[in-house]
Amino acid sequence: MEPVKGNENVKKLRKRVIKSFLDLFVLAEDQERPLSGYDIVGLLRKRFDVYFSPGSVYSLLFSLERNCLVAGKMFSRKRVYALTEKGEETLRTVASANGKILGLLRDMLGSATS
């Protein structure tokens, strides 16, 4: 049986949205406990059923570290990343803008959601 085209489009869109907000996902997860890149790959697979390569995730982690949003440390032969104070502030800012973000999405979709 052939997959339904709409389902494939939804899966692609879902992965695109997750990729667009991957930095926020990492910051939110690091708020709970420090994580390695492989931990993040596993969480994405488990929670969203999407796969991102370790290279993509580590590239993002290095970027977040350069921007002082996370701090990496060696722990048990792997590098783990913990949220910094600046990262916590960023999460608070995004959380306070939650309604505005949802409103923007509604405006972008316009009549498609009616």
Q: Which two tokens stand for residue 70?
A: 């996370």
Domain boundaries, the chain: 5-113
Q: Is the pTM of this model over 0.85?
A: no
pLDDT in tens, the chain (114 residues): 444 456 888 888 888 889 988 999 999 999 989 999 999 999 999 999 899 999 999 999 999 999 999 999 998 899 999 999 999 999 999 888 877 877 877 888 775 555
Sign of CA dihedral 71, 65, 79, 58: positive
CATH topology of domain 5-113: Arc Repressor Mutant, subunit A (1.10.10)
- Neighbour count for residue 104 (Cβ, 10 Å): 11
- Neighbour count for residue 10 (Cβ, 10 Å): 11
What's residue 35's pLDDT? Answer: 95
Angle between helices 22-32 and 85-96 (to 10 degrees): 120
Query: Quick check: helix, strand or coil at residue 33?
Result: coil
